[in-house]
Amino acid sequence: MQPAQFAVFGHPIGHSLSPQIHRAFAQQFGIALDYRAIDVAPADFAAAVQRFFAEDGVGANVTLPHKAAACALASQRSLAATRAGTANVLTRLEDGQLAAHNTDGAGMVRDITERHSVDLRGHDGLLLGAGGAAHGVAWNLLDAGVETLTIVNRSPAAADALADAIGEPARAHTRYWEDLADLGSFDLIVNATSAGVLGGSLQLPFSLAGARALCYDLSYGVAASGFLAWAKTAGARYAIDGLGMLVETAADAFELWHGKRPQTDPVYAQLRRQYS
């Protein structure tokens, strides 16, 4: 009997840890699965996804740059996917249609509050970026009790659109990127930009990081190294990459597909050793 088929779609995708993570989860339960990485350009994404599910694909993770397209492909969307307008999980329904989910924000909050034992309630947060990654976590930060969220993006229109979508002007508002040096300090700074992934740097003023600040990069490994180095130099209390978030979001997808909740700590520890 052929193992159930799963995949992760992205462009590029060779760096993805998702196959390793899902295989490790499957081993915890003795589940046989075939999980592979599929590199597909944006123009070919929809056709590639439809072909995968037509050939008995059960579920797929989706990463950059396809999350918005994934959400658009689905006939059903979870609340998180609907709010964000993006999806990182696609699941085939019994009628062959697709359901979209976004587990990014829930995974990030769980990593921060449970693995790193940081209470987000009452924090004044700065969200760097207003693209799909930022959309995927903004609502969850507010749901977790972050008091205010200042959204800053190089394109002000994108930041305004995210703040408008959130619809809580007293809690979520925007400022200009050029004004970063004048914003004062924050006790939560989330880097949701693609600068590190693209090999760039942000050149942030050190004044942004408060003495007890949590600085969190949604990416991991080399892509997060520049932001984390800045955070440590700025005197932040916590400088955390998104590796734990990746594992937690994968666990949500695994539970959705298999009905079983895997243990994330051993998998995180194994990956952390690889990236230490």
Cα angle value 196/191/248 (rounded, 5°): 95
Tell me how far apart the alpha carbons of residues 256 and 66 are, in angstroms, rounded to a whole number.
20
232 tagged catalytic:
no
- Here the tokens at position 214 are 């949590």
How do beta strands 76-77 and 89-92 pair?
unpaired
Residue carrying structure tokens 């979870």? 78
Which position among 67, 101, 123, 135 bears the catalytic label? 67
Distance between CA atoms of residues 166 and 83, nearest Å: 8
User: Are 226 and 161 spatial neighbours (Cβ–Cβ below 8 Å)?
Assistant: no
Residues 6+ apart with CB under 8 A from 207: 181, 184, 185
Angle, vertex CA 188, rays to CA 89 and CA 162, nearest 5: 50
Dihedral sign (CA 247, 202, 223, 159): positive
The residues carrying an active-site annotation are 67
